[in-house]
Amino acid sequence: MMAVYANGYINISADSAGDGNGGLFRQRDPAMFQSFLVPSDRTGSNGSYNCHLSNWDKYVESAPLKARSWVTQERFMSPRVVHFSNDQVHWECVELMTSESVNSSFHIGPEFIWTPEKSFHAFIQEPNSDTKIESLYTIWYRLVESYTTGQLTFISDRPVAIAGLARTFAHLLQLEQKDYICGLWRPYLVLEMMWYTFTSTDRPNPDIPSWSWLSVNGDVWFKTPQVATKYQPVAEVMDVRITASLGDPYGSIVSGPLKIRAPICRAKIRRVPDPHARLDDGPKWEYTFVLGQEEIGEGHSFMLNLDECSSEFMEKVLSQDVYLLLGQGSILPYPETPDLPGSKQS
């Protein structure tokens, strides 16, 4: 299917359809989507303001079709997409993003609306550089985040429905097949294992290793590039062996043992006396880690999300020590110290 969409001319996207019977067209008032120009009142200015109804985020990025995980790959690979949304038609290609309501002299572009799909194509012809490679990794993370917020009829399709994207990125990142490790990339394997989820601890496929985001049935998020640059890996991957179905490393996974070496520390998990929501409508902050005499709580951006949260399991955890493996550490500049008479620096 990746080849079908990549070699297609136009992908017609029924964004507002809830299922295969939804169709493209909706009842609407076309007059509501006419743009117009308002002359500028600035002295000596010949410019004008373009007034139009902008609802790309609402009816394209948050459309019912986006709830389908397969669409992430389809939209990304298609060179051109015509979006039939709830109220108007939108256009998306390498050079242009625009809407029916926008005046022909004014175009929506990446500087106004950023989507990983066409932002990727916009710079893909540039020469390879460190900046370009970093941008490709960033786009991969954003695509995974978009992909995992969607739903699949068969959860076993989770590795398969993003396999086309993985093959494409392996080529662009100048990596080999063996460098794609169950949804993660070998050069940043330790850092990428620090993914997190807000909504799901369900692991429906026991064959997929728990250190991979492919193992959970729910949303997955990565640290932003700005945050990631402040950390460096502390853990070291000693060995990782992925056994894939039919020998395709981008397809279904049979097993994935990983051996890792890293510092560990002893800690305790303690129940918070007065649990409260981390967000207005989010899950409650109920537990905290205690390292020595220091409590790692909400003020340290701490979040505990265990796969098993039954009362019997938590009582067992709360009654004994646990051990934390340090995967990455922050990069902090050391203060400069003046040379003292007779001292020797090393």
Q: Which domain holds residue 313?
A: 264-330
In the listed set 241, 261, 281, which residue is the last one of a domain according to the structure? 261
Same-domain status, 97 and 144: no
Same-domain status, 18 and 91: yes
Whole-number pLDDT of residue 38: 76
Instruction: Count the Cβ atoms, other than its own, within 10 Å of residue 116.
Output: 18
pTM for the structure as a whole: 0.77
Residue that has been written with the tokens 């990794």 in this structure: 137
Tell me how many degrees the CA angle 170-195-56 measures, rounded to the nearest 5. 75
Burial level of 104, CB count in 10 A (0-12/13-18/19+)?
Answer: exposed
Beta bridge partners of 12: 82
Confidence of residue 22 (pLDDT cuts 50, 70, 90): confident
Give 254-293 pLDDT, tens digit per residue: 888 999 999 988 888 877 776 655 555 555 567 777 777 6
Give 207-258 pLDDT, tens digit per residue: 889 899 998 888 898 876 666 667 778 899 999 998 888 778 888 888 889 9
What lies within 8 Å, CB to CB, of 153 at 6+ separation is: none
Same-domain status, 155 and 208: yes
Same-domain status, 71 and 98: yes
Q: Please list the helix, strand and coil fractions of the chain in percent, rounded to the nearest 5, in that order.
A: 30, 25, 45
Beta bridge partners of 276: 285
Least confident stretch, 100-104, 205-209, 325-329: 100-104
CB 37, CB 48: distance < 8 Å: yes
In the listed set 215, 243, 261, which residue is the last one of a domain according to the structure? 261
Residue 120 domain-assigned (yes or no) = no
Give 104 or 259, the one with higher predicted confidence: 259
- Residue range 148-152: mean pLDDT, rounded: 85
CB 192, CB 185: distance < 8 Å: yes
- DSSP-assigned letter for residue 279: S
243-244 vs 236-240, strand pairing mode: unpaired
Select, from the ranges 76-80, 155-159, 196-200, 237-241, the one with the highest average predicted confidence (pLDDT): 237-241
CB 183, CB 165: distance < 8 Å: no
Residue 164 domain-assigned (yes or no) = yes
Find, among 22, 17, 57, 50, the residue nearest to 34 by Cα: 50
Same-domain status, 233 and 130: yes
Q: How many domains does the chain have?
A: 3
- Residue 322 is encoded by which pair of tokens? 């646990």
CB 72, CB 158: distance < 8 Å: no
Same-domain status, 134 and 233: yes
Same-domain status, 250 and 268: no
Residue 72 domain-assigned (yes or no) = yes
Residue 188 domain-assigned (yes or no) = yes
